[in-house]
Structure 1
Amino acid sequence: MAKTRTEDDTFDENILDVDVTEEMETSFLEYAYSVIYSRALPDARDGLKPVQRRILYAMDEMGIRPERSHVKCARVVGQVMGVLHPHGDTAIYDALVRMAQPWSVRLPLMDGHGNFGSLDAGPAAMRYTEVRMAPAARAMTAGLDEDTVDFKPNYDGKETEPAVMPAAFPNLLVNGATGIAVGMATNIAPHNLVEVVAALKQLLVTPTMELDELMRFLPGPDLPTGGKIIGLDGVRDAYATGRGSFKVRATARIEKVTPRRQGIVVTELPYMIGPEKIIEQIKKAVGEKKLSGIADVKDLTDLAHGTRLVIEVKNGINPEALLEQLYRVTKLEDTFAINAVALVEGQPRTMTLIEMLQVYLDHRIEVTLRRTRFQLAKATDRLHLVRGLMIAIADIDDVIAIIRSSEDANEARTRLIGAFNLDEIQANWILDMQLRRLTKYSTIELEKEAAELNERIAGLREILDDDAILRSVLTGELDDVVKQFGTPRRTILLASSGQVSQTAQPLEVPDDPCWVLLSGTGLVARMEGDSALPTTGPRSAHDVIVSAIHTSAHAEFGVLTNRGRLVRCRAIELPTVPPTANAPALQGGSPASELWLLEPGETPLGMTRLGPEAAGLAIGTRRGVVKRVAPEYLSKDAWDVIRLDDGDEVVGAVELRDPNLHLAFITTDAQLLHFPASTVRPQGRAGGGMSGIKLAPGASVMWFGAVDPAADELATVSGASTSLPGTEVGAAKVTAMLHYPAKGRATGGVRCHRFLKGEDVLIAAGIGRSPVIASAASGSPVELPPTTDRRDGSGLPVSQPVTSLAGRGSGRTAASADVSPEGIGTVPQDDATAAPREPDQAPLL
């Protein structure tokens, strides 16, 4: 509606009828055009949106380069908004921040200083943060001053800006792109620069290469946050058609997060997913009863260690099954949809992988040709001037005479052109020449420069004339970019579909029978099963069992330490190892120090059952003290079972289910004493025990346990006390226990091994069911000599140092004087094939 004012202050109305449909179509198309071409979609050549390109150009013009200091982001945003991009400071700052975030782009183009946000939080205001160009940004802008790309007017026509960047690397694929336009959107995943360049080089050599062959060099995206891509079929679809999707899964592992609790530790998250979002989803799922078994969730992410999200698992819950549930109900597994839309020759196009690579190659070839022509023109012009200078210096006296005799510069220029056959450019250069160039050395310099220019011009013309040389130059430049910015792949590619198995493990661990195992190297594990403990077959490292008790998954048991403490534990807290027909292998176990609350210098010696199945304990110490402890269960995490004198420690213990058994001591000076267990009066926990064996000066107890004098054998290994522990091979002897008479408690016992010359101590000893076997520190068996009837005879050399001795399937254990207490009593049982039995004394050590 138009109104016109008349002389009598009245208005004449002029109403124009407009078709609303046509007006809406026109306005919508103009708006859509503006969003598509000026804001949302990247150019396929440099992979940049207009705002990103303008930020890089403005910073390059301002000199905010990597070698310079940081400047306020507000200064950059103001320059870009005032000269190149009149769309608001928020959009400009958001684009600048994203180019600086290493979790958003694979190769950051900005070097930010300050709070640039996180996956869960936005950045600080632009007045607080600082920025400068990253080295990769210089590679994007290199060559702008060499006529490599076209320039166009800015929004008000007062300045110019590049229509595209020279782009020394394929930014569209390396950093990806995301944007929402009108009626279309783009979402391109980041890739590894090394792999993208390898694919480009192959495409340069073989332009007709098929996609499957090309994917050998570029197998899939490489996300900045790592993780795992599950299933490559969707990746291939995206590469073949421009559209496709794939699953991204977090990197997680099962760890012992507390001494008594397992947890799921997440170290890499899916692309653009933050830990706070995962925590929020977990809490919501727990509240809605979609998840169970989670005790706590902690975000321990920091700048020093990176992403670390700890999900503590309740006891009795299978962490592997819980992790499968987390993948289903949270963003620990996410879907990334590729929609490769970019501008090609000013038109939006859905592009395949080969098309994206080819468009970039065509762009770089054009950039290289334009740069070469520019450099050729500059070199040719310089050579032209050098030749004029050489002429002038050769006849410098005549040149000076002409200049001095001329009325003005115009006359001098005209006379020089006529006298020396120069052109106007050369004549002007001679007139501007400084007097210091009038030396003999200047002539030499000019001749050298002329030769170099001739050589450079020839090389530049070869690039323009020979396509093979042009492509080799392009290949060399790509290799230089890889050397400068290439990094290893972060994302793992898995070809499987990623579907959760329908036969997944149950979430809650049932209270089934199991074996709890403690190895000679201090590893602890739980082995499911109700059958006999597997002991046959070859042994390897960590297969030597110190203690084994048969219990159930949810039952409690006690761990006896060398400090005389009984620590209460639960079987469900232990890592599981699979049952095997051979000797139990504890490579999947965890160190005892990580599972149980032990004091410094405290080591576990063995295990015993608690509750109704508990039996009395028989304990022997290094100073020869023996104690019987009546069964007792306390509501504590740990309690003392013997009062130790200063400097004393426990060396062995057994669950004493049959008081008619004998208790035996072996000392370092080769004395053996065994006596009926009934001669030891039971004491309470506070008792300090009673004298078990009388020790000679300098001697100490190295082995204690329960024995059957009629069926067991004694094995001893002698050596020198001056040898380093674990290095003495020694001499071994095996004798039946029936040759050693029982003696009274608190006596010195009888000699069980005669020392040869150079021997003065036992380095290993043990009593067990016949035949006794030995093992080395590696777990490998050591062959012992045949059994002898001489109870105090000397030993025979063995093949390697012995660290543990035990009877086959006896359940009783042996000790080594040259290993740590956690290695005392190692049982490499090797011959139990019967059903599980309840021995007279269950093995505690």
Structure 2
Amino acid sequence: MTEENKEGSLFGRVVPLPLVDEIKESYLNYAMSVIVGRALPDVRDGLKPVQRRVLYAMSELGLRHNSAYKKSARVVGETMGKYHPHGDSSIYETMVRMAQDWSLRYCLVDGQGNFGSIDGDSPAAMRYTEARLHETGELMLADIDEETVDWGPNFDESLQEPLYLPAVLPNLLINGSTGIAVGMATNIPPHNLREVVDVLCWILETGRAAGELSLADILERMPGPDFPTGGLILGRQGIYNAYRTGRGRIVVRGRIHAEEGRRGRACVVVTEIPFMVNKTNLIETMVSCVQNKEIDGVSDIRDESDREGMRIVLDLTRDGDPDLVMRQLYRRTQLQSTFGVINLALDKGRPRELPLAEILGLFLDHRRDVVRRRTQFRLNKALAREHIVEGLVKALDIIDQVIQLIRSSASAAEAKDGLVGQLGFSELQAQAILEMRLQRLTGLEREKLNEELRQLLRDIASYREILGDSKVLDGVIRDELRDLSRRFGDDRRTEIVDDYRESADEELIPESDIVVVLSKDGFLKRQDLEGYTLQGRGGKGRKGASVQEDDSIATVCVTHTHRDLYFFTNKGRVLSLKGFSIPETRTGKGKQISRLLPLEEGERVVTLSSGDMEGLNYAFFLTKDAVAKRIQLSELVGSNRPRRIITLDEGDEIAQVRLTTGRDDLLLMTAEAQALRVPEEEFRAMGRGARGVQAMRLAPGDSIISCDVVSEDCDILILSERGVGKRTRFAEFTPHHRATSGVRAMNLGPRTGRLVCCHAVRDQDEMIAVSTRGRTIRVAVQEIPLLSRVAMGNITVRLDEGDLVADCTIVRTEDRMGEQTAEGGEEGREPAPVFGAGPDEGPAE
């Protein structure tokens, strides 16, 4: 090396580079390597590099669709050693996927052995399985030896490999592709071959360019993706967006139906699942949802899938609703999933997000290029052969001169020169004449040469017509596509459903009566009403509302799972929650209400309200300090956001909320059994920010506990903290003006304690009372005696030492779910199981 070369060389020198620039360049090189060399498919053949190399390696090994299988390890070794030096596991996984009929709509590899399953089972090791090209995979390589594609060096530049395949099949569309690169991803859905061919042939017949294609015409022939696992596509908007822009969201559902199962019970059967959903994971999700009561009415789940097809059976309970179960399956499991379409592919080495029309146009451009190059190759080959055959025919015409010249020549070179110089043959013709066997001199062989020459002339004319006329070239492509459709086309597997709607949360929850319990420490829960057994008056109830030792029950309310429950706080705000949103538990303490409702610092719920609002116009609020306020019902409902509905004095809080017509009489009740009946019109309607007016004059230490609407066909039920209760006619309470003290409603004493609640009731109603320690009793109203206004009452709830009644609520006949008998009972129901019953927990009397 000269001194000049030493100075100009970088060998042995340290070159300082900015760190940011070096990291940027290295990252870009890595990103482009992943994008172009590994993760994204080429728009022409729809294959990633590893898929292309596996297919080409199998072709080089001679693994045609009609040849013997070879060990998968042989294919992997050939691919890794010659073309793809990235590890055997990725190569084998790629080959396996191309052989799975639930992964590809049209398989490219024909596998023999355990190639995995839709359950997510792993394939057997490559030393145990065998493979060969599928007939469709073979078509991906058709005419590759006729100079139809570009070639490049392999990783060590010792061999040449195709940069893309001729691809007679529109593989990118019929099999789709999924891949994650650096900063980008592709997710192209598979389609039906017949439909894709119909669109391509229509484009070729009309002669339109990609930019001139009408999406409506494409959708008419190719309505949407066709997944190998079948299923249903909900709606066409997602398809339209994906085809128009290259991106879209397609909602896919599995196919399920209801059947009559064993012992006459209904069952729900899943026969198809969405594309790319693992069946085992789906079943595990179903089991988990059933255990967590997110899916109701399922008693057993079985997988009865076999070689004939998929079959997942969900046996229902005797009262299970198949329609409800199916809606819950779609909402709670992967039986309904979203396929996010991203039509990202490499176009001449550049990643592009392509609309469907452009993908179709680029594939046809690729096929035109392949057919043109193939035709040119065949034309050149035919012309060369024509030249040779013409020389042989000419030689036969002057065979005596040819033989004489050859016999007189001292060497083959001299004979060849003589044929060229004396008889006018070209060097190629002269060489062919010298290599001609004597049997070609027979008359039959001469006729064969003449026929071959005529056929060559016809082929040459056909090739030149294809190359000279674009319509003829398109006709060749169209014929090849139609042949594909005839040989491999099949019916659509995925159905597109137009008339559908998304199930709302309410539709996924069975309608039922529930009892909602709130503790003083703010724990909220619900229990099905059927869990509370009807008992006689004076019973001790059941252990149903579990509370902590230092906690106690604050209030209880009966409502429906689909009804709004309103929560009123000590800060004068109202918040709403659907009944089904409240956590259900039999023995647990429930969930902190602050996790269900957006409560402010120091804010707590003081009362609950739920009821049918039909025909009602106002909400009447009454605080413990006897401040009353009436507002329009529209101010209370119609919004999911918290609302302030009353301004409270310091230390005051809402005691009761009642919904009214605007013309009712109201009965106000205090803890010291003072009752005031007052017309509703005495309280003018106010805005949400107002404080209200004085409703009743209270004695020192007394407070409001309840307010109810007076109804002539109802009685007022009164219950004290020590479980003493009675019913009294509303007629015994005469109307007075507001801000007066009212009249005595019950004779109180140490045996009764203070009052805790009162409600308007009918004879058919039932009462549920809950104690501070969580014991609950359900009593028919008829069991409670009807007494005068000044009477004390009888024991309605028998309490343990130190226990007190916390609250009570009424189960009203008209609000109860299910049909009612003429006597007011419930028809068609089995007796409910005893809720929390123990051996020593019977009625006290």
TM-score by length of structure 2 reads 0.58
| Displacement after TM superposition at 1:435 (Å) | 1.5
- Distance, in Å, in 2 between the alignment partners of 1:339 and 1:331 is 20
- Residue 29 of structure 1 aligns with which residue? 28
Q: Secondary structure at 1:412's aligned position in 2? A: helix
Q: How does 1:321-340 map to 2 (within 5 A)?
A: 321-340=324-343
1:241 aligns with 2:242: no
Q: How does 1:118-517 map to 2 (within 5 A)?
A: 118-119=117-118, 120-206=120-206, 207=208, 208-303=212-307, 305-500=308-503, 504=507, 507=510
- Distance, in Å, in 1 between the alignment partners of 2:14 and 2:432 is 69
Alpha-carbon displacement from aligned partner over 1:135-154 (angstroms, at most 9, x marks no partner): 00111100001111111111
Q: Tell me the amino acid that sits aligned with residue 294 of structure 1.
A: V
| Displacement after TM superposition at 1:306 (Å) | 1.1
Task: Structure 2 unaligned segments of length 5 or more: list them.
Answer: 1-11, 514-821, 823-845
- Residue 86 of structure 2 aligns with which residue? 87
- 8 Å contact kept, 2:176–2:187: yes
- 8 Å contact kept, 2:327–2:508: no
Alpha-carbon displacement from aligned partner over 1:188-246 (angstroms, at most 9, x marks no partner): 00000000011111222331221112110111000000000001101110000000011
Alpha-carbon displacement from aligned partner over 1:249-301 (angstroms, at most 9, x marks no partner): 01001012213321111000000113211111112222333222111111111
- 8 Å contact kept, 1:342–1:349: yes
- Distance, in Å, in 2 between the alignment partners of 1:17 and 1:169 is 52
Q: Tell me the amino acid that sits aligned with residue 215 of structure 2.
A: L
- 8 Å contact kept, 1:316–1:508: no
- 8 Å contact kept, 1:240–1:352: yes
Q: Secondary structure at 2:395's aligned position in 1? A: helix
Segments of 4+ moved more than 3 angstroms = 13-18, 501-510
- Distance, in Å, in 2 between the alignment partners of 1:493 and 1:133 is 32
- Residue 47 of structure 1 aligns with which residue? 46
Q: How does 1:570-581 map to 2 (within 5 A)?
A: none
- Residue 625 of structure 1 aligns with which residue? none
| Displacement after TM superposition at 1:132 (Å) | 0.4
- Distance, in Å, in 2 between the alignment partners of 1:90 and 1:378 is 42
Q: Tell me the amino acid that sits aligned with residue 280 of structure 2.
A: E
- Distance, in Å, in 2 between the alignment partners of 1:474 and 1:428 is 38
- 8 Å contact kept, 1:108–1:134: yes
- Distance, in Å, in 2 between the alignment partners of 1:255 and 1:189 is 32
- Residue 96 of structure 2 aligns with which residue? 97
- Distance, in Å, in 1 between the alignment partners of 2:245 and 2:138 is 33
Q: Secondary structure at 2:422's aligned position in 1? A: helix
- Residue 686 of structure 2 aligns with which residue? none
Alpha-carbon displacement from aligned partner over 1:790-842 (angstroms, at most 9, x marks no partner): xxxxxxxxxxxxxxxxxxxxxxxxxxxxxxxxxxxxxxxxxxxxxx9xxxxxx
- Distance, in Å, in 2 between the alignment partners of 1:461 and 1:169 is 25
- Distance, in Å, in 1 between the alignment partners of 2:508 and 2:51 is 49
Q: Give the 3 Å change call, closer, same or farther, for CA 506–49 of structure 1 in structure 2.
A: closer
- 8 Å contact kept, 1:226–1:491: yes
Q: Secondary structure at 1:298's aligned position in 2? A: strand
| Displacement after TM superposition at 1:19 (Å) | 2.6
- Distance, in Å, in 1 between the alignment partners of 2:309 and 2:278 is 12
Aligned residues: 499
Task: Structure 1 unaligned segments of length 5 or more: list them.
Answer: 1-12, 511-835, 837-845
Q: Secondary structure at 1:247's aligned position in 2? A: strand
- 8 Å contact kept, 2:99–2:111: yes
Q: Tell me the amino acid that sits aligned with residue 156 of structure 2.
A: D
- 8 Å contact kept, 2:328–2:508: no
Q: Secondary structure at 2:98's aligned position in 1? A: helix
- Residue 595 of structure 2 aligns with which residue? none
Q: Give the 3 Å change call, closer, same or farther, for CA 14–44 of structure 1 in structure 2.
A: closer
| Displacement after TM superposition at 1:502 (Å) | 7.3
- Distance, in Å, in 1 between the alignment partners of 2:231 and 2:84 is 36
Alpha-carbon displacement from aligned partner over 1:91-146 (angstroms, at most 9, x marks no partner): 11111011000000100000000111012222111111110000001111000011
- Residue 114 of structure 2 aligns with which residue? 115
| Displacement after TM superposition at 1:505 (Å) | 8.4
- Distance, in Å, in 2 between the alignment partners of 1:350 and 1:420 is 64
- 8 Å contact kept, 1:254–1:262: yes
Q: Secondary structure at 1:317's aligned position in 2? A: coil
- Distance, in Å, in 1 between the alignment partners of 2:138 and 2:332 is 43
- Distance, in Å, in 2 between the alignment partners of 1:17 and 1:264 is 70
| Displacement after TM superposition at 1:14 (Å) | 8.4
- 8 Å contact kept, 1:316–1:509: no
Q: Give the 3 Å change call, closer, same or farther, for CA 111–498 of structure 1 in structure 2.
A: farther
- 8 Å contact kept, 1:318–1:509: no
Q: Tell me the amino acid that sits aligned with residue 66 of structure 2.
A: E
Q: Secondary structure at 2:221's aligned position in 1? A: coil
| Displacement after TM superposition at 1:405 (Å) | 1.2
Q: Give the 3 Å change call, closer, same or farther, for CA 498–130 of structure 1 in structure 2.
A: farther
Percent of paired sites with the same residue: 46
| Displacement after TM superposition at 1:504 (Å) | 4.1
| Displacement after TM superposition at 1:15 (Å) | 6.9
| Displacement after TM superposition at 1:420 (Å) | 2.0
Q: Give the 3 Å change call, closer, same or farther, for CA 14–460 of structure 1 in structure 2.
A: closer
Aligned-residue CA RMSD in angstroms? 1.9
Q: 42-51 or 23-32, which moves further after superposition?
A: 23-32
Alpha-carbon displacement from aligned partner over 1:746-779 (angstroms, at most 9, x marks no partner): xxxxxxxxxxxxxxxxxxxxxxxxxxxxxxxxxx
Q: Tell me the amino acid that sits aligned with residue 239 of structure 2.
A: V
Alpha-carbon displacement from aligned partner over 1:390-415 (angstroms, at most 9, x marks no partner): 11111222211211211111111000
- Residue 827 of structure 2 aligns with which residue? none
- Residue 76 of structure 2 aligns with which residue? 77
- Distance, in Å, in 2 between the alignment partners of 1:154 and 1:135 is 26
- 8 Å contact kept, 1:275–1:299: no
- Distance, in Å, in 1 between the alignment partners of 2:198 and 2:512 is 49
